[in-house]
């Protein structure tokens, strides 16, 4: 195995800033083939990606983490995407129900440290199930979302899953996203029209007031100390994602390198 670092991707990331989401999806499929999947949490950006994927002439799996405490509207949105877009959505779940977790650990989400532990068990650990199955995951992070995502790269290494995260919407503005949704009548989580700018677990997500930041409704009861769940490594400490282990041949394909001589 060879090592692919975030620094190795710098030049490619600059080039990809000018690519459309559809072009990035086509590149990803060409490079990774069947070892590529998408991930969504049934929010606006993820549903846009699901719509785009549904128009690709080859099947692509979609990964979805059901924490066991999601809003019913979120689960119904998943079911609509399967039924109306014909997507293969793989639902991952935590090892424990929320009742079992609470009986063992108490109500974790009432403190910042407890929230991190809760999100780890109910979001991040279930996603560990795909480690080794994929070399890349299509994500829906956008710089327009602000905060730590204001500088998210198109390509980001994820050492925990040992794969590449590909944020095909990274440079898409709010206006461009809304235009795509309107033009294509994208299936949306109905909670977006009920004041929810972002949507997570029903214990820790509230509507957002006019003028508030987009993520103000996430863990509102914990104040500004809890804004991200940790399922996206670029939201957290950047030192968490320095490099991944890939076959040299795959790294050469990603970086567009070729050699016409033997070493």
Q: Give me the residue spans of the domains in the chain.
A: 2-254
Q: Which residues pair with 65 in a beta bridge?
A: 92
pTM of the model: 0.86
The maximal CA–CA distance of the chain, rounded, in angstroms, is 62
Q: Is 229 a catalytic residue?
A: yes
> Is the pLDDT higher at 53 or at 237?
53
Catalytic residue among 118, 119, 204, 229: 229
Mean pLDDT of the chain: 89
Average pLDDT over residues 207-230: 73
Dihedral sign from CA coordinates of 179, 183, 186, 192: positive
- Which DSSP letter does residue 26 get? H
At residue 261, the pLDDT reads 37
| pLDDT tier for residue 224 given thresholds of 50, 70 and 90 | low
Cα–Cα distance list, 70 to 74, 181, 188, 199, 239 (Å): 7, 23, 15, 9, 30
Alpha-carbon gap, residue 79 to 75, rounded angstroms: 6
- More confident: 57 or 108: 108
pLDDT tens by residue, 103-140: 999 999 999 899 999 999 999 999 999 999 999 999 99
pLDDT higher than threshold 50 for residue 259: no
Beta strand extents in the chain (DSSP E only): 2-5, 36-39, 61-65, 88-92, 136-139, 155-158, 163-167, 243-246
CATH number for the domain whose boundaries are 2-254:
3.40.50.620
Which pLDDT belongs to residue 146?
Answer: 78
How do residues 130-182 score in pLDDT, each as one tens digit?
A: 999 999 999 999 998 877 778 899 999 999 999 999 999 999 999 999 999 99
Ramachandran bin of 256, using left for φ above 0, alpha for ψ from -120 to 50, beta for the remaining angles: left
pLDDT tens digit sequence for 62-91:
999 999 999 999 999 999 999 999 999 999
pLDDT at 238 over 70: no
Q: How many CB atoms are located within 10 Å of the residue 113 CB? A: 11
Range name among 42-46, 146-150, 165-169, 221-225 with the lowest pLDDT average: 221-225
Helix (H) / strand (E) containing 54: helix 44-54
Per-residue model confidence as pLDDT tens digits over 207-216: 988 888 887 8
Asked if residue 175 lies in contact with residue 183, where contact means CB atoms within 8 angstroms, the answer is no
Query: Residue 231 — very low, low, confident or very high, per pLDDT cuts 50/70/90?
Result: low
pLDDT the model gives residue 53: 95
């Amino acid at each position: 195995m060879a090592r692919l670092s975030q620094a190795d991707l710098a030049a490619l990331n600059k080039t990809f800033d000018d690519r459309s989401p559809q072009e990035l999806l086509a590149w990803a499929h060409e490079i990774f083939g069947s070892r590529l999947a998408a991930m969504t949490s049934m929010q606006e950006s993820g549903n846009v990606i699901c719509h785009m994927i549904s128009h690709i002439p080859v099947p692509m799996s979609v990964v979805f983490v059901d924490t066991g405490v999601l809003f019913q509207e979120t689960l119904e949105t998943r079911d609509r995407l399967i039924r109306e877009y014909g997507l293969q959505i793989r639902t991952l779940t935590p090892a424990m129900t929320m009742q079992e977790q609470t009986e063992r650990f108490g109500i974790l989400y009432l403190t910042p440290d407890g929230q991190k532990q809760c999100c780890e068990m109910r979001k991040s650990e279930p996603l560990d199930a795909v480690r080794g199955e994929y070399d890349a995951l299509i994500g829906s992070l956008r710089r327009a979302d602000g905060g730590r995502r204001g500088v998210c790269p198109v390509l980001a290494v994820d050492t925990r899953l040992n794969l590449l995260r590909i944020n095909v919407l990274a440079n898409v503005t709010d206006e461009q996203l809304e235009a795509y949704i309107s033009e294509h009548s994208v299936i949306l989580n109905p909670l977006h029209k009920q004041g929810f700018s972002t949507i997570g677990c029903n214990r820790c997500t509230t509507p957002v007031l006019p003028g508030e930041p987009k993520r103000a409704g996430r863990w509102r009861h914990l104040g500004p100390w809890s804004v991200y769940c940790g399922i996206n490594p670029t939201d957290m400490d950047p030192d968490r994602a320095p490099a991944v282990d890939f076959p040299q041949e795959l790294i050469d394909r990603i970086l567009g390198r070729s050699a016409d001589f033997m070493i």
